[in-house]
């Protein structure tokens, strides 16, 4: 079958490729443990195909790629000093591929198609969890909650949050066709139900932060360009002042109490203290990327036992920066902090441009979501995760020249063609 190259790599014409590719990615990120290695290979092949066909996707404008790939490269470089070189090399390769897939997607997938594919994928993830999952006791949070088909209720809450965010964006930001809006409304309802059933404080707080950020940035872009700088300055200073006042006046403890959590964050502060002591043994370069959580390491075995992780896998330090410090030391931590700064500053800078588009609302909401979650999760510093994929996607889009938003997230029938002058054989 002859398929136009544009139908694979042109964001304005590749809906029939882009949407299923994003759907597949979401399913793999959620359940690759359940579906096995074949699902991961399918994910790799899906995003390698457009790059093999059109290497210019990344090579035509290499500067943002070279900047963003520094961190995955350093993760891989840590193999040289890792005391678990095999585990480090394997994880670093997986992380680089996942990160690279996000970079490729950023160049060939429109924001509307990303939202549509993510909504469908996340909705299928939640449906699968309803069909296959159940309740479990969470030794971190100390209660029973619905976890779906995941090993943790926080992962279910995470995907529920993403479902809500992408679904509502299709209704209010991208103004999709009516049938898509109807499905998005049902999907958002399912996401709210799963978020409530998961009883995940991290997911609920990050969702509130994301929608608050969308509301704020939405107000900013409605202002005349000459007033936006002052508005952004006021928002940043006001946010920092409110956060500092909350900490000094006990607001943080009040929030934890409202969600039924104690000041130890149900064991996380102990975990962080242990991590800082372990990281202090090799503070500059760390133990090696993903080298700590390996069988036979006494400290890892002790923590698995203390937190009842009988499978001795899938556990982490519940903080992206601390996890990074243990693995790749202060040098790697500097790179991740730099990425977090970009994740916050670049959307604000984009809001100051007179040519910004509605898609900025979704980008800023996702950015805040991942930044807030980084306090208690490791979403974008681990391989085969939706966070790694989406963060690299967001940063690439923000570093590239602004592109107009494609209002429709699904093409009309007349837009679907399969043969043109530039074709490839599949």
pLDDT tens digit at each of 426 positions of the chain: 556 777 889 898 899 999 999 999 999 999 998 888 999 999 999 999 999 999 999 988 899 999 999 999 999 999 999 989 999 999 999 999 999 999 999 999 999 999 999 999 999 999 999 998 777 766 655 667 788 888 888 899 999 999 999 999 999 888 888 999 999 999 999 999 999 998 888 899 999 999 999 998 888 888 887 888 888 888 888 877 777 776 666 555 566 565 556 555 666 888 999 999 999 999 999 999 999 999 989 999 998 888 878 778 878 898 999 999 999 999 999 999 999 999 999 998 888 887 667 788 999 999 999 999 999 899 999 999 999 999 999 999 999 865 443 444 444 332 333 233 333 333
Give the tokens for residue 213: 């950020």
CA distances in angstroms from 370 to 222, 265, 386, 387, 422, listed in the order given: 25, 19, 10, 7, 39
**pLDDT value of position 141:** 59
**pLDDT value of position 85:** 95
Work out the number of other CB atoms within 10 angstroms of the CB of residue 177.
14
**pLDDT value of position 423:** 32
| HSE toward the beta carbon, residue 180, CA cutoff 13 A | 27
Please indicate, yes or no, whether the overall pTM of this predicted structure exceeds 0.85.
Answer: yes
DSSP assignment of 29-88, as one string? Answer: HHHHHHH-HHHHHHHHHHHHHHHHH-THHHHSSHHHHHHHTHHHHHHHHGGGT-TTHHHH
Q: Kindly tell me the burial class for residue 134, based on how many C-beta atoms sit within 10 Å of its own C-beta (0-12, 13-18, 19 or more).
A: exposed
Q: Please count the helices (runs of H) and the strands (runs of E) in the chain.
A: 18, 4
Give the tokens for residue 176: 């999709």
Q: Which positions ≥6 away from 95 have C-beta within 8 Å?
A: 72, 75, 289, 381, 382, 383, 388
Separation CA 365–CA 217 (nearest Å): 9
**pLDDT value of position 266:** 62
Q: Which positions ≥6 away from 244 have C-beta within 8 Å?
A: none
**pLDDT value of position 265:** 60
């Amino acid at each position: 079958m002859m398929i136009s190259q544009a139908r694979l790599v042109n964001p304005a014409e590749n809906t029939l490729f882009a949407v299923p590719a994003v759907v597949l990615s979401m399913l793999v990120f959620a359940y690759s443990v359940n579906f096995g290695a074949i699902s991961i290979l399918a994910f790799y092949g899906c995003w390698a195909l457009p790059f093999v066909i059109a290497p210019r996707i990344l090579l035509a404008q290499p500067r943002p790629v070279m900047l963003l790939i520094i961190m995955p490269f350093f993760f891989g470089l840590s193999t040289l000093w890792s005391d678990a070189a095999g585990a480090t090399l394997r994880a670093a390769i997986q992380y680089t591929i996942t990160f690279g897939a996000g970079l490729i997607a950023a160049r060939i997938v429109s924001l509307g198609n990303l939202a549509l594919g993510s909504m469908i994928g996340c909705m299928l993830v939640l449906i699968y969890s309803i069909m296959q999952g159940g309740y479990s006791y969470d030794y971190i949070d100390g209660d029973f909650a619905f976890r779906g088909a995941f090993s943790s209720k926080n992962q279910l809450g995470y995907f529920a949050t993403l479902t809500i965010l992408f679904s509502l964006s299709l209704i209010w930001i991208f103004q999709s066709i009516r049938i898509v809006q109807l499905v998005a409304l049902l999907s958002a309802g399912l996401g709210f139900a799963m978020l409530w059933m998961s009883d995940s404080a991290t997911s609920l707080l990050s969702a509130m932060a994301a929608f608050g950020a969308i509301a704020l940035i939405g107000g900013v872009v409605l202002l005349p360009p000459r007033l936006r700088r002052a508005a952004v300055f006021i928002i940043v200073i006001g946010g920092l002042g409110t956060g500092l006042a909350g900490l000094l006046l006990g607001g943080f403890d009040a929030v934890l109490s409202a969600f039924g959590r104690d000041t130890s964050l149900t064991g996380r502060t102990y975990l962080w203290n242990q991590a800082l002591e372990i990281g202090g043994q090799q503070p500059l370069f760390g133990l090696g990327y993903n080298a700590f959580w390996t069988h036979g390491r006494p400290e890892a075995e002790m923590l698995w036992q203390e937190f009842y992780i009988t499978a001795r896998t899938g556990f982490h330090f519940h903080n992206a920066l601390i996890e990074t410090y243990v693995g790749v030391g202060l040098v790697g931590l500097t790179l991740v902090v730099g990425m977090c700064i970009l994740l916050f500053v670049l959307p604000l800078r984009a809001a100051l441009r007179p040519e910004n588009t509605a898609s900025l609302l979704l980008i800023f909401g996702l950015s805040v979501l991942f930044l807030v979650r980084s306090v208690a999760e490791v979403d974008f510093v681990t391989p085969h995760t939706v966070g790694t994929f989406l963060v690299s996607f967001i940063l690439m889009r923000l570093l590239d020249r602004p592109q107009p938003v494609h209002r429709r997230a699904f093409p009309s029938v007349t837009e679907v063609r399969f043969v043109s002058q530039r074709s490839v054989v599949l």
